[in-house]
Amino acid sequence: MQVFVSYSSRDKDFVRRLVGDLERSDADVSLWLDERELRVGQAIGSNFQDLEATIARCASLMVVVSQASAGSFWVEREIQIARSTGVRVLPVLLEDVPVSWAPSFAGLAHADFRRHREYRRSLHRLICAIEDVPVRGRFLRAKEAVALVKARYAPPGELFGVSQQGVGTLYSLANAEDWEFADAMNGTSRFWITEFCDVVGSWIHPYAVVDGGVQELPKLALQGSDPVPVAGSAVVMSCALNHRAALSEERASAILEQGGDEVTRITKRYSKFRPLLLQEAFIDSAEAIDVATNYAFGLDGPLHQEANLFVLSCLERDKHTRGIPTWKISFFDPALSMSVLAVGVDPRTGAIRDLDLPREFLNARHLPSRIDEETGNIVLSMHTLLKALETKIWDLPKRGLTAAEAVGMAYSLLSEQEPSCQWQLAFLSNTGVVRPAVSPVVGSAGKALMHHDGTAGQWVVEMCGTNVTRITEAGRTGYRYDYRRIMCTVQGAAVDNEDERHLVMTSPLAASPIPGKWLEACDRARKAAARAVEVPYALISVALGRPPSGASWFFRFYGGGEIVAKASVSADGERVLQHDGGG
């Protein structure tokens, strides 16, 4: 499909970039540009018949609209020829349409290139116009992508990452040169990776959202969830995604059948990454990227206003931001695999937090890896990765465990040691509810307490069997449960009550239920308690109690080794029941 480019020579820098981008794209287009087609010494427009014949042979005339072209005799003539010969006119708006020209483009849709940040969106619309097809693709904000995934798959666990390249593992477009496809310069993108973690089950569930369609990606087990890696397993560091022509299920099945023993089937995929759940509300990608680009391209910003860049974004909690949730906005030059700038934005307030974060890489090119030619997966064998992990740190150094991690460890331990029994969470605390306990690994009660981020040096997870026996002794009625107290630290989990295997309660656990989404309730209760006491503190202790009057969370706030405040909060985390400002 041939397109005649009509423009003023004063706009030639923009035109050269636009023509180059069109020719590098997937568009089936051949562009007629005077500086390439005319011979040296040949007068421009010297042969009107040749000009008319050239335009008439084209499917479209692309006219760059600017103040300069509005005063160009030749641009005006080329538009007249196009209209007289029935050639479509495609206005490319570089500047506001001059008043004198407005009638010429009345009723014509245009590709708007007036905003530099909208360049790639406008390029996409222009390509669709040249091919005379509806605009392809669906540009979404991060929250829209997450909502689509939740509606389509209802993923287990909680969100811990949303980005273009992935968080728990790195994803690479199969067309490595085409990362501009994922550009999020204006806050929306055709391509999102959303990742959820089922901490109790020790699984990462990733999903790709491409042009509004949701694709389930291979789930990953958290490395360490199995004492011995499953035979035939692999640690997947990057999985290629092809947005142009994905491998069909039929073709994939045929490859497996024809390959026989030569095709390696991955039994289980592991990730060394340790997810840190987002847990709090966050601003959407459009707002975060707008803040970052306003700084980057501002008067005192480090980037030139006309720089040919694209943006990839990532919301996560990682070691570079000290485990604090951060929108990382990375600016890339299409010719380079490393970002030229990475800015951190606070996802709660929208304020810039970091002006120069460590640079990002495209396509995981920096990782030593092997590409599986059949699947496109970039993999390291378990043996190779385990050797690599002896010297490399891939995740955030852990000060402690979250409540969810601790309870997940407790369930895993009991399911392994007593697989025939069914268990329920009875009590949860840092130092014990039935009786105080401190793990030798931690050493002291102070080191067992919880930090501001919700992690703690120790969790005491007290579990009861689901079967209950009603007993009567000395005229008193009680309820007896199988009972296990599990001490959980970053070093592991261990049962701590070998001589105390049963627990008798004055009322059944069912009389004081805890919320189904107890993790959310625990975090909500912690924040509500901190807001209520309004005192500076360094550490917190938490205990989930189950008295007959109803389950509740009890918090103590410590400063300088002393209790500075206390608060109790309803089991659902919604109501502060009582609080005071001293010990």
**Residue 559 CB contacts under 8 Å (≥ 6 apart), including other chains:** 535, 536, 537, 538
* Surface-to-core class of residue 182, CB atoms within 10 Å of its CB (0-12 exposed, 13-18 middle, 19+ buried): buried
Give the pLDDT band (50/70/90) at residue 485.
Answer: very high
Report, in angstroms and rounded to the nearest whole number, the Rg of the chain calculated over CA atoms: 31
Amino acid at 568: S
Give the pLDDT band (50/70/90) at residue 368.
Answer: very low
The torsion angles phi and psi of 574, rounded to 5 degrees, stand at: -90, -30
CB 282, CB 347: distance < 8 Å:
yes
Going 22 to 28 to 33 to 38, the CA torsion angle's sign is positive
- The mean predicted confidence, pLDDT, of the chain is 82
Is the pLDDT score of 38 beyond 80? no
Give the pLDDT band (50/70/90) at residue 155.
Answer: very high
**Residue 134 CB contacts under 8 Å (≥ 6 apart), including other chains:** 128
Going 499 to 502 to 506 to 507, the CA torsion angle's sign is positive
Give the model confidence (pLDDT) of 558-568 as tens digits. Answer: 876 688 899 99
CA–CA distances in Å: residue 32 to residues 1, 57, 452: 11, 11, 63
Could you give the 3-state DSSP secondary structure of residue 426? strand
CA dihedral of 66, 297, 293, 18, whole degrees rounded to 10: 40
Secondary structure E strands in 333-458: 341-345, 352-354, 370-371, 377-381, 423-429
Give the model confidence (pLDDT) of 214-249 as tens digits. Answer: 988 888 888 778 877 787 777 776 677 766 655 555
In the chain, % of residues over pLDDT 90:
33
- Which pLDDT score, from 0 to 100, does residue 290 have? 94
**Residue 278 CB contacts under 8 Å (≥ 6 apart), including other chains:** 158, 159, 160, 161, 315, 316, 317, 325, 347
**Residue 33 CB contacts under 8 Å (≥ 6 apart), including other chains:** 5, 15, 19
Beta bridge partners of 270: 221, 235
Across residues 57-83, what is the average pLDDT?
90
How far is Cα 487 from Cα 169, in angstroms, rounded to an integer? Answer: 30
Tokens matching residue 372: 């599986």
Is the pLDDT score of 208 beyond 60? yes
Is the pLDDT score of 367 beyond 50? no
Q: How many CA atoms lie within 13 A of 543 on its CB side?
A: 15
Give the pLDDT band (50/70/90) at residue 102.
Answer: low
User: In this structure, how many other beta carbons lie within 10 angstroms of the beta carbon of residue 78?
Assistant: 26
Residue with tokens 């007959």: 548
Given its phi and psi angles, is residue 176 left (phi above 0), alpha (psi -120 to 50 degrees) or beta?
Answer: alpha
- Which pLDDT score, from 0 to 100, does residue 228 have? 78
CA–CA distances in Å: residue 531 to residues 211, 338, 403, 449, 551: 41, 42, 20, 19, 21
CB 216, CB 193: distance < 8 Å:
no
Give the pLDDT band (50/70/90) at residue 583.
Answer: very low
Residue with tokens 């039994």: 267
Is the pLDDT score of 518 beyond 90? no
Beta bridge partners of 379: 236, 370
- Which pLDDT score, from 0 to 100, does residue 186 have? 87
How far is Cα 118 from Cα 27, in angstroms, rounded to an integer? Answer: 19
* Surface-to-core class of residue 485, CB atoms within 10 Å of its CB (0-12 exposed, 13-18 middle, 19+ buried): buried
Across residues 500-527, what is the average pLDDT?
87
Report the predicted TM-score, pTM, of the whole model to 2 decimal places.
0.58
Across residues 387-392, what is the average pLDDT?
42
Nearest of 190, 143, 162, 111 to residue 286 by alpha carbon? 143
- Which pLDDT score, from 0 to 100, does residue 262 have? 55
Give the pLDDT band (50/70/90) at residue 397.
Answer: very low
**CA angle 136–365–271, rounded 5-degree value:** 90
Is the pLDDT score of 147 beyond 90? yes
Q: How many CA atoms lie within 13 A of 321 on its CB side?
A: 26
Beta bridge partners of 543: 429, 554
Give the pLDDT band (50/70/90) at residue 103.
Answer: low
